[in-house]
């Protein structure tokens, strides 16, 4: 990465991992390490992001997947009820926010 006059230029894909287009000067705290963020989200949620994507995909699900789906839905509802912003969860997990919204509706019905 090279810098000139307050602007940073990403010279390789590796340098730009986790960085999005940005106008202006980047502060050191503006960078988001996606891998580290994903690990922190998994730790906080109590399940892996690949499990989340597996149960929120279209198509038939096995009994184990349906059980995991109910557990994930309940956990997301719990987070939301405690002030968690699930709108911000969608881009981190790669799951569409509409899918997360449907999960909240399912979980509310189940409780």
Q: Domain limits of the chain? A: 1-32, 46-110
pTM for this structure?
A: 0.64
In this model, does residue 106 exceed pLDDT 90?
Answer: no
pLDDT of residue 108: 78
Which are the contacts of 2, defined by CB distance < 8 A and separation ≥ 6? 8, 9, 11
Q: Give the pLDDT band (50/70/90) at residue 22.
A: low
pLDDT of residue 31: 72
CA distances from 28 to 16, 17, 41, 49, 83 (A): 14, 15, 21, 27, 28
């Amino acid at each position: 990465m090279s810098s000139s006059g307050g602007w940073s230029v990403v010279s390789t894909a590796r340098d730009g991992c986790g960085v999005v287009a940005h106008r202006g000067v980047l502060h050191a705290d503006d960078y988001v390490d996606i891998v580290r963020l994903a690990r922190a989200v998994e730790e906080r949620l109590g399940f892996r992001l690949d499990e989340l994507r597996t149960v929120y995909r279209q198509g038939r699900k096995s009994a184990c997947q349906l059980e995991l789906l109910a557990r994930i839905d309940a956990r997301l509802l719990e987070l939301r009820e405690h002030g968690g912003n699930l709108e911000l969860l969608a881009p981190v997990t790669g799951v569409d926010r509409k899918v997360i919204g449907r999960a909240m509706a399912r979980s509310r019905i189940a409780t």
